[in-house]
Amino acid sequence: MSILQQRLAKYTVAKEARAQGLYPYFREIGSNQDTEVIINDKRVLMFGSNSYLGLTNHPKVKEAAKQAVDKYGTGCAGSRFLNGTLDLHVQLENELAAYFKKDAALVFSTGFQSNLGTISCLSGRNDYILIDEYDHASIIDGTRLSFSKVLKFKHNDMESLEKQLSRLPDDAVKLIVVDGIFSMEGDIVKLPKIVELAKKYGGTIIVDDAHSVGVIGHQGSGTASHFGLENEVDYIVGTFSKSLASLGGFVAADHTSIEYMKHHSRALMFSASIPPASAASALAALRIIQEEPERIEKLWNNTNYTIKCLKENEFDIGHAESPIVPIYVRDNTKTFQVTQMLFNEGIFVNPVISPAVPSDASLLRFSLMATHSHEQIDIAIDKFIKARKLIGFGEPEEAVSAP
């Protein structure tokens, strides 16, 4: 074995979980992605999807993808910068810019790359990037590719952010980068205070709206709109892989920034543009979100119903206030055990364990779609209650301390 292979062979987490029959990843779905999916010929209720509005099977979205393949083929065979820009990409960018009330937008190959490509190219060696400790991995990796100094502040803790900001030189660029809705905890960023601090200390704000688009704000247009702060957020980054039912991502901002990024963002310039079917389906979904507001209403109806039921049953759901509802188990092994038990009972949820979150914060990420029914939610919650009885987790305080 080479030195590298010897080192890799020491990686045991997946092996141990497999040996115990608890390995919960890469489950193969053999059907379309909706509130029910088929896995190994078994029908399970899907509560692990990011398709918040349930648009991946919308007839208009599918039709748009098919027509794009017929017109443009299956791929663009180049980057946006060179031969890979279609009129369809530009149309999508124009509609995104209008939707987010920004001058312009730029489409990247994924949401991950949108963060990499935006964050890495804006600030320089003597500048600072301030990130929430629970920001998404793509934000963290974006900061690693920049040459700026990176400072973390405590999750949604504005005192911690101010403490960091107040120490920085006046003339340095200070990028404050946050998730709009945090991807695992499901809480919403304290944007009004961030705007206040950015003004006080000369900061620039980037909000990653991956989980907010189609969920909060006017016609689902995200966190800035939710707080009426469209003019105060400098860059809105997002993805097509969640509410927009496709693959790809974007940044929306002022003309000067977008023009600069077109010529400096390496993740954009040196990576192929999204295929026609992806661009067309994202565009169709963007239009449907604006035309069918009842979808967002239904998503919130499901979200409020779920949060109410889980609270009534005394589950530990932290600061849940969005369609991402964390159900805290606070133990890695038990999190896997509950995931497996729920799966056997026909419920798909995503386990989130350390190092993705601290080990005393491991959780089941229960995510809602507009297309779920209350009946499906009831079934899932019943199974959670059953799993809690058998495995024992997140008990109400009194139950834990009882003899």
- Per-residue binding string, ligand PMP, 229-258, x by CB under 6 A, is ----------x-x-------x---------
Decide: is 110 part of the binding site for ligand PMP (CB under 6 A): yes
Q: How many residues make contact with ligand PMP (CB under 6 A)?
A: 14
- Point out the catalytic residue in the list 211, 226, 298, 334: 211
Among the listed residues 56, 123, 138, 225, the single contact to ligand PMP using CB under 6 A: 138
Taking alpha carbons only, the member of 284, 256, 259, 272 closest to residue 79 is 272
Decide: is 350 part of the binding site for ligand PMP (CB under 6 A): no
Nearest residue (beta carbon) to ligand PMP? 111
Smallest distance from ligand PMP to CB 137, Å: 8
Decide: is 185 part of the binding site for ligand PMP (CB under 6 A): no
Decide: is 183 part of the binding site for ligand PMP (CB under 6 A): yes
Tell me the residue length of the chain. 403
**Would residue 242 show up in a list of annotated catalytic residues for this protein?**
yes
- Point out the catalytic residue in the list 123, 183, 241, 243: 183
Range 143-182, binding ligand PMP (CB under 6 A): 179
Choices 4-12, 86-94, 204-212, 331-339; region in contact with ligand PMP by CB under 6 A: 204-212
Nearer to ligand PMP, 108 or 384 (CB): 108
**Would residue 66 show up in a list of annotated catalytic residues for this protein?**
no
Choices 30-38, 104-112, 262-270, 351-359; region in contact with ligand PMP by CB under 6 A: 104-112
Nearer to ligand PMP, 185 or 208 (CB): 208
Decide: is 112 part of the binding site for ligand PMP (CB under 6 A): yes
Residues annotated catalytic, as ranges: 183, 211, 242
Residue ranges that bind ligand PMP, judged by CB under 6 A: 110-112, 115, 136, 138, 179, 183, 208, 210-211, 239, 241, 249
